[in-house]
Amino acid sequence: MTAQSAPAVQPVQPVPSNRIDLRSDTVTVPTPEMRLAMAEAVVGDDVYGEDPTVNTLQQTVAELLGKEAALFMPSGSMTNQVAIAMHTSRGQEVICAEGSHIYEWELGMMAAFSGVVPRFVPAPLGIPDPQQVRRAVRRSIHQSPTGLISLENTHNKMGGTVIPLDVMHAIRAVADEEGLPLHLDGARMANAAAALGVSLKEVAAPFHSVSLCLSKGLGAPVGSVLAGSKADLVRAHRYRKMLGGGMRQAGVLAAAGLLALRDGPARLKADHVRARRLAETLVEAGYDVNLDAVQTNIVYATIPGAQQKVSAWAEQGLLASALDVDSVRFVLHYQIDDEMLERALRVLRA
Ligand SMILES: *Cc1c(COP(=O)(O)O)cnc(C)c1O
């Protein structure tokens, strides 16, 4: 089966037949196999550490990412904010790429919960320059000291763009020289691994802690995992509880997550091929797309009157996200097959 012809994995829940939902890769619904695994999951109270399915998931992720331990949480925002809390103390700065999800889309929580503020570094195509990261480190008694460096791979707002391994290692070298922890917002790190042609472990290697979303391209209905050292995760456990992230019999969710981890990564390349085709079709139809930024499963197009355009497409069954007055985002995922993509392209060309 080539990437081009890989069929979509069918959900058990009927999806309106003419609807093609490209708003996000979070919109997938569980497959029959996932529903079955969820129904049959052996569960226990995870706040007591007694849910065997959650424990298996955490161990599986720790091994896949080459970390000592992992902790299951309801969302990627929670894994990121717990990581920020466990690495920093109040009044510090977090160095992150401009447009980072931890600041742009997590509602000021780094300030509200951890009492820290972001210091942005420029990131063309989502890739910060290690020298600029070094220059952003604050040490003087007149400034708020740096507590953490955080990277995002793939970088959502920049278009699902990929930070190469050598850049991540160069930034780890900066972190080591400065004695700082390095976190990865790896909500879509599996897409980065697929694009780079490397393992999840290789993407995770330069980082002290890593957030991975099971509910994005990997296709689980709910859940994210924070991986890192055992010592760090003891603190993470406390912050998760503070945020209300102790989920009791969460094995029903972890069961779906295990299937997402087993089957998800191998499917991502097909999403990337389809995203490319969608981007090229948009360009042919006269829309403005930076093709250099189309590296994984996300496509941003600059379209004046974005909201009107998106509403018009929605009437024809094609859903996309208007994220700004002139910005539209399309995201490919495993429940969009070639036939659905072709229908979407017909709407876009019209
Ligand atoms: C989706 C996403 C998250 C987490 O989002 P939740 O909706 O809280 O699960 C974090 N970082 C990035 C880059 C994301 O795209």
Residues 45, 310: Cα–Cα separation, whole Å:
44
Strand partners, 161: 155
Please give the distance, rounded to the nearest whole angstrom, from the Cα atom of residue 187 to the centre of ligand 1. Answer: 6
One domain, residues 242 and 277: no
**The domain spanning residue 238 has which CATH number?**
3.40.640.10
- Kindly list the strands in the beta sheet with 321-324, ordered across the sheet, starting from the edge strand earlier in the chain: 298-302, 327-331, 321-324
Distance of CA 29 to the CA centre of its chain: 17
One domain, residues 250 and 287: no
Please give the distance, rounded to the nearest whole angstrom, from the Cα atom of residue 249 to the centre of ligand 1. Answer: 23
**pLDDT by residue (tens digit) across 277-335?**
999 999 999 999 999 999 999 999 999 999 999 999 999 999 999 998 999 999 999 99
Please give the distance, rounded to the nearest whole angstrom, from the Cα atom of residue 139 to the centre of ligand 1. Answer: 30
Cβ 152 under 6 angstroms from ligand 1: yes
3-state SS assignment for residue 42: coil
One domain, residues 280 and 171: no
Residues 284, 334: Cα–Cα separation, whole Å:
25
One domain, residues 140 and 117: yes
One domain, residues 250 and 306: no
Cβ 51 under 6 angstroms from ligand 1: no
pLDDT for residue 296:
98
Model confidence at 1, pLDDT cuts 50, 70, 90, reads: very low
**pLDDT by residue (tens digit) across 72-89?**
999 999 999 999 999 999
Please give the distance, rounded to the nearest whole angstrom, from the Cα atom of residue 235 to the centre of ligand 1. Answer: 21
3-state SS assignment for residue 346: helix
Total domain count for the chain?
2
Range of the domain at 283: 20-27+266-349
Strand partners, 308: none
**pLDDT by residue (tens digit) across 179-226?**
999 999 999 999 999 999 999 999 999 999 999 999 999 999 999 999
Protein residue closest via CA to atom 8 of ligand 1: 77
- Find the helix or strand (DSSP H, E) in which 277 lies: helix 251-284
- Find the helix or strand (DSSP H, E) in which 17 lies: none
Ligand 1 atom at minimum distance from 215 CA: 9
Cβ 185 under 6 angstroms from ligand 1: yes
